[in-house]
Amino acid sequence: MTNRCDLALRICYLSLCFVFIACFSRPHIIMGQQLPTPETESAAAASPVVDEKHFDIWKENPDDFYTIVGDIPRPGDPVTLIFLPAQNNETARPAKLLLTGKNGRRLSGASFFDWTLDDEGHKVKACVFAVPSTFDGGAVLVNVDGTDIFALDLKERSFISEEIPLNPSNTALRTVPDPQKTAEANMLWEILSRSGGEVYSAGPFTPPVAADTRRTSFFGARRVYLYSTGKSDTAIHAGIDYGVPLGTPVRASAAGKIVLARERIVTGNSVIIEHLPGVYSIYYHLDKIYAEEGALAAAGDVIGLSGATGLATGPHLHWEIRVAAENTDPDILCLHPILDREAAKKIIDERGEKIYAGLSR
């Protein structure tokens, strides 16, 4: 009888232990919340919670430099840096920014430009740069005119993987050498590497088609192209693909200047818009182009119709943003202005109105 009681007590004890472990080790799931899928994870990453002080994220903020765009950046994110000379500081106005890894390897670079803050014409120096989507996370150094200003630990980020089978004609587009393709690639790089002086739009950007349009490929996707020859190649998707029907109106995502509007071998009918120094939006595989090179476009202007020209496996729109030639997550640029006057003015107000005396007009 005693042995039976001891056995029963042990069984009860073990049962309670299992209940305790189950209660405190189970995944924390809010009732009604869907488990993440590749699409919902991408959407969540595209809509981070932006802190009220998102313009001042550095742990050791220098006296002269302030960020005004972005939460703690991840690979593929843009960052805007403004220069406000500290009171009684005669520091020369900056010209060039260089982003490097801890090993000294160059990651990206950009130029500073004049940005008018208000109707009175007060100007600051601003620079928009991007963390390459190929960077695997960790610390980076921000160097201005040869001096390391501060270090920043980036958030880690993961990207989806996808395989894309190509028919013989699309395989040839990627693999067969062609002097015209080389010339077009060189021209594209020359455009995206330019940094003018005009600010046509401070953002935020808006998607070129309806925001809820189904996405067939995401920014930063690690692609494997499966050639019809049996071989394969890898690439990184630089933008977002929208699965829109043939002939869907494509709109300018922000005001700017049309710097390219022509057919290209690989990207088909293509349009590129310059929005501010070093910042460009790109629209590929259009069926028709309604934009003209050299013309100005307002936000929302129809610049063409979606199609399947160039290297495309079906009708869709490829939308891409380049910042200082680096492919950059378009969703982040839709969250808030890339040049945020209110954030900059808040910095000035916190430091005192006398700071205006140090600004040029």
pLDDT of residue 85: 72
Establish how many alpha carbons lie within 13 A of residue 3's alpha carbon, considering only the half-sphere containing its beta carbon. Answer: 0
Same domain, 191 and 218: yes
Same domain, 70 and 210: no
Residue 229 has pLDDT above 80, yes or no: yes
Asked if 306 contacts 286 with a C-beta cutoff of 8 angstroms, the reply is yes
Amino acid code (one letter) for 10: R
Residue 148, in any domain of the structure: yes
**CATH code for position 70:** 2.60.40.1930
Q: How far apart are CA 57 and CA 76, in angstroms?
A: 17
pLDDT of residue 1: 47
Q: How far apart are CA 346 and CA 295, in angstroms?
A: 35
Q: How far apart are CA 10 and CA 75, in angstroms?
A: 54
Residue 357 has pLDDT above 60, yes or no: no
Of the two residues 355 and 8, the one the predictor is more confident about is 355
Q: In whole angstroms, how far apart are CA 151 and each of 40, 101, 102, 154, 162?
A: 32, 9, 9, 10, 34
Same domain, 56 and 83: yes
The pTM is what? 0.81
Of the two residues 83 and 361, the one the predictor is more confident about is 83
Q: How many structural domains does the chain have?
A: 2
- The SS3 of residue 250 is strand
Same domain, 79 and 152: yes
Residue 16 has pLDDT above 70, yes or no: no
Of the two residues 92 and 267, the one the predictor is more confident about is 267
Residue 350, in any domain of the structure: yes
Residue 59 has pLDDT above 50, yes or no: no
Torsion 87-89-94-99 (CA) sign: negative
Residue matched to tokens 């330019």: 194
Asked if 170 contacts 227 with a C-beta cutoff of 8 angstroms, the reply is no
Q: How far apart are CA 283 and CA 307, in angstroms?
A: 11
Same domain, 250 and 128: no
Of the two residues 30 and 56, the one the predictor is more confident about is 56
- Distance, first Cα to last Cα, the chain: 96
Rounded percentage of the chain residues whose pLDDT exceeds 90: 54
pLDDT of residue 69: 63
Start-end of H helices in the chain = 2-25, 38-46, 168-175, 179-192, 330-333, 341-351
Query: Domain range spanning residue 219?
Result: 161-328
Residue 144, in any domain of the structure: yes
Same domain, 135 and 178: no
Q: How far apart are CA 357 and CA 354, in angstroms?
A: 6
